[in-house]
Chains A and B, each alone.
Chain A
């Protein structure tokens, strides 16, 4: 069964450094998402992306965050200057048809900021 793949599985970065998290959505999917889950807390929506544009974003997704689909397969989340509070599990998700199909999640990238 097709799946969403994320790399790396674990990223350790010094505070203030830039980090890029990578995702390969399911191949025929058109809508892409990033969520994060701080340890012990709820999964939180960050951003949705369709047709090379951000569709929706949450309050968490401030100017330090950006997303990009640099080629036909990858979908990336960049954090420009990481903070300690960015430490979390970051999940990528994708779906084929907005609202009518479920979002399928990757295994996540655990981001640890030192």
Chain B
């Protein structure tokens, strides 16, 4: 059974801090790993990673995948209060079903 584990469960930081969120996975027929941000409603897409060692970047957010060690990290630099959300990691397998981790709840204080 595919499994995705995220850590930490929750994190409280102050504006301007840098955070690193972790995602480890045990899956069969790996296709890609995705990061989503979930505020009040829909998970909104951040990154899709398919290859090891290639950093994807969007503004203050970046992510990288290690297919040998089966993990990914999401970095957020210079955090803002608007970054407060639950960050979800999900594996996409050959059946195109997303298996989600439990999420990391990030709270950024002013």
Q: Report A's interface with B, CB cutoff 8 A.
A: 4, 31, 33, 35, 41-45, 48, 55-56, 58, 91, 93, 95, 98-99, 101-108
Chain B residue contacts of A33, Cβ below 8 A: 98
Task: List B residues 39-62 near A (Cβ within 8 Å).
Answer: 41-45, 48
B42 touches A58 (CB 8 A): no
B48 touches A105 (CB 8 A): no
Chain B 70-105, CB-CB to A under 8 Å as 1, else 0, gives 000000000000000000101010111111111100
A44–B95 Cα distance when bound, in Å, is 14
A100–B105 Cα distance when bound, in Å, is 28
Give the Cβ gap from A26 to chain B, nearest Cβ, in Å.
Answer: 12
Which of B42, B48, B99, B100 lies in contact with A102, CB distance below 8 A?
B48
Q: A43-B88, A99-B92 are in contact. Are A108 and B42 (CB under 8 A)?
A: yes
Q: Report B's interface with A, CB cutoff 8 A.
A: 31-32, 34, 36, 41-45, 48, 88, 90, 92, 94-103
Give 22 A-B contacts (CB < 8 Å), ordered by A residue.
A42-B100, A43-B88, A55-B95, A55-B96, A56-B95, A56-B96, A56-B97, A58-B97, A93-B98, A98-B96, A99-B31, A101-B48, A102-B45, A102-B48, A103-B34, A105-B36, A105-B42, A105-B43, A105-B44, A105-B45, A107-B41, A107-B42
* 4 smallest beta-carbon distances between A and B, as pairs: A107-B41, A43-B100, A105-B42, A45-B97
Q: B4's closest neighbor in chain A, by CB?
A: A42
B98 touches A45 (CB 8 A): yes
A95–B102 Cα distance when bound, in Å, is 23
Chain B residue contacts of A43, Cβ below 8 A: 43, 88, 90, 98, 100
Chain B residue contacts of A106, Cβ below 8 A: 42
Chain A residue contacts of B95, Cβ below 8 A: 48, 55-56
Which of A99, A104, A107 lies in contact with B45, CB distance below 8 A?
A104
Q: A48's closest neighbor in chain B, by CB?
A: B96
